[in-house]
Structure 1
Amino acid sequence: MTPEMIQSWSIALIGGVLIGAAAVWLMAAQGRIMGVSGILAGLLPPKPAAGGDRGWRITFALGLIGGPLIVQAVTGAPAIGAPVVSLPLLVVAGLLVGFGTVIGSGCTSGHGVCGLSRLSPRSLVATGTFMATGALTVLVMRHLI
């Protein structure tokens, strides 16, 4: 392994541990599953979260934005890389992901991180579907188009 590979493994490992720890903390402290789509949906109409449930959701959303900015400030690395696709394709992809979270009753973080750790059969099927669809999309976009 090259030093660069070791460093990227270290960063990925730290990130994974932090995500896992945050998921456990949220379940233990709030009794909630750490699925980003559900957390953010609780901030938006038609069913915004009430009172005390709103505060931790706002804090979570701010952390999603602030985390990369803190890493950039500490390391000097760009917080977000330049998109490798056009803006219209990026918008369509985002809308499709949002639609998928509605019909899939959750997002990759909720099913993949939290659902699998709870041995949820629905999350196992959902995560398998996410992974298969992602692999198929890469095959089509990189090798067939």
Structure 2
Amino acid sequence: MGQLRCESIQQKLEKIVPKYIARFIIWYKTSEDNRCDFKDLMPYEPNFVNKTSPEECMDWLTREDSQEALQVYMKHMKKFNLMKLYDAMYEKALGGDVNAAKWIENFSNSSFFDESQDDIEDFMKDVNIPALKGKV
């Protein structure tokens, strides 16, 4: 197998946007019932000193770097959300839902469980071919 990947979503986003925007994106994309109050988001962050509501920060999301960070966030969360969906459908299938069982069967045969792409990406990460940069 390849090298372990232990980079948090916060770390991924901070490679693209400033820390305060990364934290705001994570807060913004977290469901309302699972996130902290906006006033508790960053009590020591200077960029939040004059911000009293999420609406005042929404302009940050229109920045090109923020939009790239949002894409990274959504890609990062895609696997997590698919796993949650799989678990929910699995429970339904165990309860006798035939459609859920069919979904589980199809999903199990999908590329989600195929690790070959990850192995290729791990290998290509260390290959230095200028023509391939940005295409892997």
User: TM-score of the superposition, structure 2-length normalised?
Assistant: 0.25
Structure 1 or 2, whichever has the larger Rg, is: 2
More helix by share: 1
User: TM-score of the superposition, structure 1-length normalised?
Assistant: 0.24
